[in-house]
Amino acid sequence: MTTLADRKRALLQADREAALAEKRRQLRELGAHDLLRQVDEASADWRKDPRYKPGADLSVGFVDMVGEELKAAMADLGASAARLESVRVVTTLDQAVSAQMTPFDDGSGLVIVADGIFGMCSSYCQYLALCADKRSHAASRPTAFWRVLRDLGKGELFGHEDVLTALLRYHTTHQRALAASTQLGVRLSPEGERYAWQLSHLAYRFVVGHEMAHHVLGHSSGPSAFAPGERLPACSADDRRERDADRLAFQATRRASERLSHGRWETLGMRERATMAALMAMMALHVAERTLFVHHGGSHPPAAVRTGWLLEQLKPGKQQSTRRLLRVPMKATKAATDLSEHARPFSWQALDPDLVFSPMPPSHLEAIGEFDAMQCETEAFHVSWLERHATADTAWLGEGARLAAAGEPAPALQRWGVDAGTSRTLCDPRRALTFFTLKDHITRSFTERGIAEQWVAPHALAASMLIARRVQPRRAHLAQDPDGGGPAQEPPMPGISPG
């Protein structure tokens, strides 16, 4: 029987072949020939894979596999067979989603995860692998890789908070500017590569597992005002439910590994990795939700809260060492979500070429840095930028900026040429809205109104920042201090300067 979730899934299955053709076109245009070659090699390999289906790409095959692993693990844990049979999983290129479980009126449910979330998880996992590589290198005598990983928990990570922050900022800035999910490469040993891949797989399993858990646990939600017959995503401000979904996802992530591992040592190693992976996944979602969205349909509790819940499930000794391991990734997470004037924007020149690499041309890497620097300017700067560049013919640029800064975002958008209906929709806090979508509307409007081509991008960015600051709702959750201290203020929201 075809359920409503099946139908929605089919609709969301973007035509992956078309998306790949578009990506190849972009890469050619950017002159990223090395990356283009890698993409072609990967898709040739995928065509030979037994899981290959026309119109589907590697991520579709991967997410199907993760869904099956989780269903088997949750069945072992005693989840209802009927609930497991009625849940589907899909990965989407749609940027307006991070990860969510949408329940339907016929009792079916659909887990939707954006492609970009996997990239974000993998940045964290590659960083951890880099730490392990460095530690193994620094050891005076050859050390087994698994021992290095165990020992990492005894001391601080090797540091290089700036590397992780840069990996994350590069990714989020890319998505904010271009709606494209692209990562920097991390230089790893073959063993480090294997570890990073395993960890990413586990992190992704946890992300999907959390959403699936909402369905299995029967967490329903209210009907959506925008899509009749569909209900709002299950992730909510209800801490009890989020905590229960996290707990089941964590158990299922570990259980799925136990099913695949041989022997006690392998199982122990996988359990340890599953813990780290779940923690990285929580931070990845935090960064995505705080930076890619102006407002979000349903969001997860802050990473500091969720990691605290997970740590409580560990033995006291393990809690302490894991807390130490988390210190640097947590600091980087906080730094990556800071879009205030106190932020340190992405800078390709500041990075150590022995640690990271990119197949993209230097001009592109510099442009990403310039975009990040511009978005981290103050509201006053963005207003004066648009005022300064306004001429007698384009006085509306500065007028819109002043309206936005006065707390009138919808009239500001109209002043910049966005039609009234769209302006209201963009400012409706109940609708999910990505920063890129907002910027895209403004870009089109500025282009239509004859702004010179070289000025469209910086002007649209300044304008989007002015709007984003003013339409962001207050977060329902109070965050805890990411360093593990007592309750503190939520880290500054994108585009909002502290104070």
- Least gap, CB of 78 to Zn ion (angstroms): 20
Rounded to the nearest whole angstrom, what is the least distance from the CB of residue 190 to Zn ion in the complex?
36
Nearer to Zn ion, 173 or 221 (CB): 221
Residues 6+ apart with CB under 8 A from 362: 348
Give the span between the Cα atoms of 316 and 186, in whole angstroms: 33
Min CB(305)–Zn ion separation in Å? 12
Q: Classify strands 293-295 and 433-434 as parallel, antiparallel or unpaired.
A: antiparallel
Q: How far is the CB of 125 from Zn ion (least distance, A)?
A: 21
Position 285 contacts Zn ion (CB under 5 A): no
Q: Which is nearer to Zn ion, 23 or 214 (CB)?
A: 214
Residue number, 242 or 338, with CB nearest to Zn ion: 242
**Which CB sits closer to Zn ion, 245 or 410?**
245
Q: How far is the CB of 300 from Zn ion (least distance, A)?
A: 5
What is the Cα–Cα distance from 460 to 164, expressed in whole angstroms?
28
Q: Which window, 60-68, 132-140, 228-236, 364-372, contacts Zn ion (CB under 5 A)?
A: 228-236
172-341-179 Cα angle (round to 5):
20
Any contact of residue 235 with Zn ion (CB under 5 A)?
A: yes
Q: Which of 299, 333, 338 is nearest to 429 (CA)?
A: 299
Which positions from 237 through 256 interact with Zn ion, judged by CB under 5 A?
Answer: 242, 245
Rounded least distance, CB 301 to Zn ion, Å: 8
Strands (E), 335-394: 356-357
Q: How would you class 288 by CB atoms within 10 Å of its CB: exposed for 0-12, middle for 13-18, buried for 19 or more?
A: buried
Closest distance to Zn ion from the beta carbon of 297 (Å): 12
8-16, 77-85, 234-242, 302-310 -> range binding Zn ion (CB under 5 A): 234-242
Nearest-angstrom CA–CA distance, 259 and 266: 11
- Nearest CA among 306, 293, 311 for reference residue 239: 306
**Which region among 26-34, 137-145, 227-235, 320-328 touches Zn ion (by CB under 5 A)?**
227-235
Nearest CB to Zn ion, comparing residues 102 and 394: 102
Is 376 among the residues that bind Zn ion (CB under 5 A)?
no
Q: For Zn ion, give the closer residue by CB, 245 or 278.
A: 245
What is the size of the binding site for Zn ion (CB under 5 A)?
3
The SS3 assignment for 60 reads helix
Smaller CB separation from Zn ion, 222 or 485: 222
SS3 category, 483: coil
Q: How far apart are CA 208 and CA 249, in angstroms?
A: 8
Q: Contacts with Zn ion in 24-83 (CB under 5 A)?
A: none
Rounded least distance, CB 119 to Zn ion, Å: 21
CB of 237 or CB of 395, closer to Zn ion: 237
H-assigned helices in 376-432 = 379-388, 395-405, 409-415, 420-426
- 267: tokens are 């199982």
Q: Given the complex with Zn ion, which of 249 and 386 has the nearer CB atom? A: 249
Region of residue 159 (phi > 0: left; psi between -120 and 50: alpha; otherwise: beta): left
In the complex, which residue's CB is closest to Zn ion?
A: 235
At residue 285, what are phi and psi to the nearest 5 degrees?
-65, -35
Using alpha carbons only, what angle is made at residue 56 by residues 53 and 118, rounded to the nearest 5 degrees? 135
CB closer to Zn ion out of 110 and 152: 110
Q: Which amino acid is at 95?
A: Q
- Cβ of residue 99: shortest distance to Zn ion, in angstroms? 8
Which tokens is 223 given?
């009907």
- Structure-token match 């072949």, residue found: 17
Residue 249: CB minimum distance to Zn ion, A:
9
At 228, list the tokens: 């009749």
The minimum distance between CB 302 and Zn ion, in angstroms, equals 13
Nearer to Zn ion, 87 or 130 (CB): 87
Contact residues for Zn ion, defined by CB under 5 A: 235, 242, 245
